[in-house]
Every structure is written in structure tokens, then in C-alpha cells.
Amino acid sequence: DGGITQSPKYLFRKEGQNVTLSCEQNLNHDAMYWYRQDPGQGLRLIYYSQIVNDFQKGDIAEGYSVSREKKESFPLTVTSAQKNPTAFYLCASSPQGGDYGYTFGSGTRLTVV
């Protein structure tokens, strides 16, 4: 759907658990991004990756981890260190360099129970 797929659509996490959100793209995009969306706060960058095996922290990286072992995949792990993980998580990708808009995934809504 749109070349970038996020799963699951809904995820529930118990206190103290780590959970992993999946993001896969078949657009041959080099760059991938993870954003967190909270009501009234817009989109905040968690991590981004420009190339395989390399990634950079965004503005709110604490309590999250990522990996980029393949160009197509950029999973996000929400660790137990993230104290307020309930949010809507959006993955995006874009071609490397130049000025191109993002293609967004459909998002994962994470709820702590």
C-alpha cells in the first residue's frame, strides 16, 4: 500500500516490555525515518537512516532503538526505558539527496496497558 508498509496497525504493550514496530518499503529509497505523533505536538523525529548500517538520533531518541540491516527495512524498538510510549508512530522514506517529499506508512498506534 503506497510502497511503504507498517505493521502492526495496533499494538499493545505491557509495562516493562520491549516491542518492535516494523517498517518495510519497496520504493528503493535510501533514507528512512521514524516519527512519533502526539495530539497537538505534530510530528517529532525519533531516528533516521540515510544508508544501510547507519542511523542517527532524532530529537526524541531516548527509549528507542533502531537497526538498518537492509535497505528495505527499518524496524523501531520501543524499550522499557521509554516512559510514555503511547502514541501514533509513522515511518517514512525518501530518495537520497535533493528535495523530495516523504512517503509515509499508514502508521502503528501503540498503547501501553
Partner 1 sequence: GENVEQHPSTLSVQEGDSAVIKCTYSDSASNYFPWYKQELGKRPQLIIDIRSNVGEKKDQRIAVTLNKTAKHFSLHITETQPEDSAVYFCAASTSQNTGNQFYFGTGTSLTVIP
Which residues would be at the binding site for partner 1 (CB under 8 A)?
Answer: 2, 30-31, 33, 35, 40-45, 48, 50, 58, 90, 94, 96-107
* First-residue to last-residue Cα distance in the chain: 29
Query: CB 80 → partner 1: shortest distance, Å?
Result: 28
62 exposed, middle or buried (CB, 10 Å; 0-12, 13-18, 19+)?
exposed
Residue nearer to partner 1 on the CB measure, 82 or 94 = 94
Residue nearer to partner 1 on the CB measure, 18 or 106 = 106
Contact 66, 47 (CB under 8 A): yes
Query: CB 37 → partner 1: shortest distance, Å?
Result: 9
* Three-state SS at 54: strand
